[in-house]
Amino acid sequence: MQIIKTKAELQQCVAACKRQNKSIGLVPTMGALHEGHASLIKRSVSENEVTFVSVFVNPTQFNNKEDLEKYPRNLNRDAELLASIKADFIFAPEPEEMYTPEEMNTRFQFDFGGLDQVMEGKMRPGHFNGVVQVVSKLFQLVQPDKAYFGEKDFQQLAIIRRMVSVMHFDLQIIGCPIVREDSGLALSSRNERLSHDEKQTAVNISRILFQSRDYALTHSVAQTQQWVVDSINAVEGLEVEYYEIVDQTTLLPVSDFSHAIGCVTVYCGPVRLIDNIKYNG
């Protein structure tokens, strides 16, 4: 496995793969890798001849300086995990390698078709501009046949699918299911910031989401939405930022549960956690 720091080196590696007609998988990450990332990377390794994993804490998608500073970083540990699951290349650039100072300080413009007006987009203005900015650069540099993203960031996945269609990228986006601990807690790099007790508390988020599937059998969308918010807020140490039940493609509010997904953001102490649940199986 090779660690690449510069765009020039990356482009040379990609060109060599293309000359040999090798299929390329790309897994974009911000590092602090866990079993959730590993599931995406293993899938890429099994479906492509070469797998590139980017490890880059993208400054332009953070709208909170403290969150950016506290984001866990450990390239050596990530590299060990990546070697053990047979990724071929890690692309781990510095911000200056990815962005000019002007790009760093200007919001990247993109027509989200409204997908950024709800949930994470509403709460974190500019977040998805930064995501599209970095992912489009990675797609241009790596030119993958397939790129892999987790369904935990469901809105991000919907936006990346739109970006691929609007920008005419010739590649396939593969959405991969959420990986959970045995307790049900969705794996996230942010879990590293939870204390032992906070982690026990956070388990209630997925427990309530799963219970809401039963509740939904006999209640309306609005009632289910309210029940989830009230049940999570009733747990000491948890505070819901939003819970929206929306259409899986348009992310617009729904009136019935066919093709519906519930997306939640919860503060567990100072740590902001997200999770989601599909209601149609």
Footprint of ligand PAF on this chain (CB under 6 A)? 28-30, 58, 61, 131, 134-135, 153, 156
Q: Is 44 or 204 the residue whose CB approaches ligand PAF more closely?
A: 44
Strands 260-268 and 271-278 come out as: antiparallel
Active site residue 37: yes
Report the nearest approach of ligand PAF to the CB of residue 117 (Å).
18
Q: Is 179 or 254 the residue whose CB approaches ligand PAF more closely?
A: 179
* Token pair 């959970």: residue: 180
Active-site choice (37, 168, 219, 259): 37
* Token pair 């939003």: residue: 242
Q: Is 30 or 266 the residue whose CB approaches ligand PAF more closely?
A: 30
Report the nearest approach of ligand PAF to the CB of residue 188 (Å).
10
- Distance, CA of 77 to CA of 225 (rounded, Å): 39
- Distance, CA of 133 to CA of 122 (rounded, Å): 18
Report the nearest approach of ligand PAF to the CB of residue 74 (Å).
15
Report the nearest approach of ligand PAF to the CB of residue 183 (Å).
22
Q: Is 36 or 262 the residue whose CB approaches ligand PAF more closely?
A: 36
Alpha helices in the chain (DSSP H): 7-19, 35-47, 65-70, 75-84, 95-98, 101-105, 119-123, 127-142, 154-166, 196-217, 221-233
Q: Is 122 or 210 the residue whose CB approaches ligand PAF more closely?
A: 122
92-98 CB contacts, 8 Å cutoff, 24+ apart: 92/3, 92/4, 92/5, 92/31, 92/54, 92/55, 92/56, 93/5, 93/6, 93/7, 93/56, 94/5, 95/59, 97/5, 97/6, 97/7, 98/7, 98/56, 98/58, 98/134, 98/137
| Token code pair at residue 211 | 């219970």
Report the nearest approach of ligand PAF to the CB of residue 182 (Å).
23
Instruction: Please identify every residue annotated as catalytic.
Output: 37
